Structure 1
Amino acid sequence: MQHPTRPITRGLTGLALTMLTVPALTIPAAAPAGATAAPTAATQARTPRHTVHHTGHHMIRYASVDSCPRKDGTTTPCHTWRLDLLDGRRVALKDAMLWPLTAKGRPDRTNSAPLTVSGDGESVAYFRRSDHRLVVREFHSGVQGGVQGEVRVMPRNPLPHGVGMNAAWLKLSQDGDRLALGYTTADGRTRVRLFDVARASATGTTPKTDAFSGFSGDGSAVLLQRAGDANTIGLSVHDDTGAELAAAVPPQIVANNGPWALSADDRTVAFVTGLGKKAKLHFYDVATDQSTGSVGFSLPKDASLDMIDWTGGHEVTLHLVRVRGSRDVVTVLRVDTETGRTRVRDSYQVRSGAFAYLSCGG
């Protein structure tokens, strides 16, 4: 099964995980363990351009598509994309493309077409089946007769000539206001085209990079990863036009412990080290190339960190995955960046028989 929750340089291959069944994860709250300060006042002084709108229900938990066997012994995505909602309902997303098109316009049945869910669980972006247009659909329970809301259609031909959908991926910001369309260039590098969803317009394209690490907490900027000299990893922050705001080659403790999350101040990066009671949430300032503190908290030793997102001025949200038997168990954990206290926002088992699934973010 493919688990493409985080975009990488080559389409939706994602993190390959075997699925399994276990009871819901229990994570104890933890007080700070020898922690220093979270991001400084200076790094939080900038007023975010957008407000992250979080609702209590997080309508969409995750999107998934079924797996069916092929004659050659491999598997293929089949049926249709489905959205599992927090209230237990499952909605068929019938207008979303199932297979991506190659640069020659042929369906690639070995992969699922690009799709992404916003962090607040209220928007989903995909290529539309009827006309192959890139769209963002809102989902909320107030819509008459169901949960589907307004559809915003992005500009035509969002991918450059010669690049197929099977070399592309999608990522929405936390509030669904911004959309990233990444694609692999001929030299194996990644470029990311950025969109303003409300205006249905492209705002810019990033320089070539090695990986996309995500939107800032308010969606006003993106964090990119690029290879440096002597096998080093660099991080750079770019605004919605693709212009560089800050860049640094961080120390190994930062570079070796992705994934990373970018704060709404467009400079503070959060990342996690350690497991169990030795886990720490660290903060690094890309603009000054300096550590700005850390806070201790507790993580289960048998879970892997799949996603990290800033979901408030003093909060990050972690997606943890445990693999047992036939299903993945996902736990969504909120961490206070000042105290290290944790709270489980959600915990669920991904349905069996999925070819790929994509969780909402924060």
Structure 2
Amino acid sequence: MRFRTALATLLLTTVALSGQPAVAAAPATIAHAQRTQTWKLVLTNGNVVQVPEALTEAPDDAANAGARAPFLVSGDGRHFFYFRKSDGLFVERTLSGGERVVSPRLTASSINEEWPLVSNDGGYVVTGTSAPGMGIFADLRKGKVLPPPGGTDAWAFAGFSPDSDRLLLAGERLTVFDRGLRARTRLKTSLSPTALANDHVTAAVPVGTWRKYRQLRLLDLRTGRASGTVTVGLPRGQYIDDLDFDQAGRVIVRSRTATGVAVYRVSTTTGKATPLRKITRPDVEVWVLPGDSTYELWTEKAGQAPRK
């Protein structure tokens, strides 16, 4: 979900993140987060920001003690989110600001029972849950946690639009909601899209076997019409691991490689995959790119099984 920053050549300089931030004057965003013993942010200017306040694992009294604690970066690379050590609350932060609690309901005790997902602008957080349905809907712009739409949590999250103004949820019908959770478009379909464009009508649907997707279709959420299936011209052994739209409405694919991640712009008529960038995975236990969900295939080192 939602990758827009490039990783600069790293000239690692440690920057403290306490009091008034030292990096406020630098026009840098977050290139990626990485974890060894603690979490760190690697910026696009090469600086490294320590985040010792962030939990790395669920505490002993959590339902899943020892499970990896989520750490997320918004797609624009300007916001980061973590469960803080002091009280276990899930908080949002920028490089130039202090912590802001997302919702007092979202705590470290729910790690691996509830999974936060962040909009591209870092201003909206939703959570999926281990039970069917959704947890919280938090609009950080307005400082509100909203009740689930329709009075039911029986939704599945399908995606944010890149402009962060719409959410696509799946239930009995695919429904596009605005940030106030007012329904804008509804469609009954058997297709399962995973991305919504900025026109708030076009959705992208991966086609094939899970984790080995190499094809896609576009779906018009207003008319219900779907395009023909397009085979994406990825290199052999690579698959559509993440499907999204950019701000201009072009389809973007991220694909795990032997050394990290490759990002492509894909023609929805020919399937041609134009390489945009390749990112080499740092030699750390865990890393997170802007726009990642709680777990992505490239999060782990090659050959390492996903941690529960």
> How many residue pairs end up in the alignment?
263
Q: What amino acid maps onto 1:98 in structure 2?
A: T
Structure 1 position 81 matched with structure 2 position 39 = yes
Listed as ranges, the matches of 1:168-187 within 5 Å are 168-184=114-130
Corresponding residue number in structure 1 for 2:30: 60
Listed as ranges, the matches of 1:94-243 within 5 Å are 94-101=52-59, 105-106=61-62, 108-138=64-94, 148-154=95-101, 156-159=103-106, 164-184=110-130, 188-206=131-149, 207-209=152-154, 211-226=156-171, 235-243=174-182
Structure 1 position 359 matched with structure 2 position 306 = no
| Deviation of 1:88 (Å) | 4.4
| Deviation of 1:359 (Å) | 2.2
Secondary structure of 1:312's aligned partner: coil
CA shift digits 1:40-91 (9 cap, x unpaired): xxxxxxxxxxxxxxxxx9832332333xxxxxxxxxxxx2122333444443
| Deviation of 1:118 (Å) | 0.9
Corresponding residue number in structure 1 for 2:277: 346
Q: Could you tell me how far apart the structure 1 residues matched to 2:102 and 2:208 are?
A: 43
Change in Cα spacing, 1:296 to 1:98, as seen in structure 2 (3 Å) is closer
Listed as ranges, the matches of 1:308-347 within 5 Å are 308-322=243-257, 324=258, 328-335=259-266, 342-347=273-278
Work out whether residues 272 and 281 of structure 1, in 8 Å CA contact, stay in contact via their aligned partners in 2. Answer: yes
CA shift digits 1:126-163 (9 cap, x unpaired): 2222233332112xxxxxxxxx2213513552339x97
Change in Cα spacing, 1:62 to 1:211, as seen in structure 2 (3 Å) is farther
| Deviation of 1:271 (Å) | 2.9
Q: So what's the TM-score if we normalise by structure 2?
A: 0.70
Q: What amino acid maps onto 2:101 in structure 1?
A: M
Q: Could you tell me how far apart the structure 2 residues matched to 1:168 and 1:274 are?
A: 27
Q: CA RMSD in A?
A: 3.6
Q: Could you tell me how far apart the structure 2 residues matched to 1:286 and 1:121 are?
A: 29
Change in Cα spacing, 1:202 to 1:291, as seen in structure 2 (3 Å) is same
Work out whether residues 58 and 66 of structure 2, in 8 Å CA contact, stay in contact via their aligned partners in 1. Answer: no
Which structure: greater strand fraction? 1
Higher relative contact order, chain-length normalized (CA < 8 Å, sep 6+): 1
Work out whether residues 221 and 237 of structure 1, in 8 Å CA contact, stay in contact via their aligned partners in 2. Answer: yes
Q: Could you tell me how far apart the structure 2 residues matched to 1:289 and 1:98 are?
A: 43
Change in Cα spacing, 1:261 to 1:111, as seen in structure 2 (3 Å) is same
Q: Could you tell me how far apart the structure 1 residues matched to 2:28 and 2:255 are?
A: 17
| Deviation of 1:320 (Å) | 0.8
Q: Could you tell me how far apart the structure 1 residues matched to 2:187 and 2:231 are?
A: 25
Work out whether residues 58 and 68 of structure 2, in 8 Å CA contact, stay in contact via their aligned partners in 1. Answer: yes
Contiguous gaps of at least 5 residues in structure 1: 7-56, 67-78, 139-147, 229-233
Q: What amino acid maps onto 2:184 in structure 1?
A: L
Q: Percent of counterpart pairs with the same letter?
A: 25
Work out whether residues 117 and 171 of structure 1, in 8 Å CA contact, stay in contact via their aligned partners in 2. Answer: no
Contiguous gaps of at least 5 residues in structure 2: 3-26, 293-308
Q: What amino acid maps onto 1:136 in structure 2?
A: E
Work out whether residues 216 and 263 of structure 1, in 8 Å CA contact, stay in contact via their aligned partners in 2. Answer: yes
Secondary structure of 2:112's aligned partner: helix
Q: So what's the TM-score if we normalise by structure 1?
A: 0.61
Corresponding residue number in structure 2 for 1:17: none
Change in Cα spacing, 1:62 to 1:123, as seen in structure 2 (3 Å) is same
Work out whether residues 209 and 224 of structure 1, in 8 Å CA contact, stay in contact via their aligned partners in 2. Answer: no
Q: Could you tell me how far apart the structure 1 residues matched to 2:264 and 2:279 are?
A: 12
| Deviation of 1:108 (Å) | 4.1
Work out whether residues 120 and 175 of structure 1, in 8 Å CA contact, stay in contact via their aligned partners in 2. Answer: yes
| Deviation of 1:337 (Å) | 5.5
Work out whether residues 64 and 83 of structure 1, in 8 Å CA contact, stay in contact via their aligned partners in 2. Answer: yes
Q: Could you tell me how far apart the structure 2 residues matched to 1:244 and 1:86 are?
A: 38
Change in Cα spacing, 1:250 to 1:81, as seen in structure 2 (3 Å) is same
Work out whether residues 261 and 270 of structure 1, in 8 Å CA contact, stay in contact via their aligned partners in 2. Answer: yes
Secondary structure of 1:303's aligned partner: coil
Work out whether residues 81 and 96 of structure 1, in 8 Å CA contact, stay in contact via their aligned partners in 2. Answer: yes
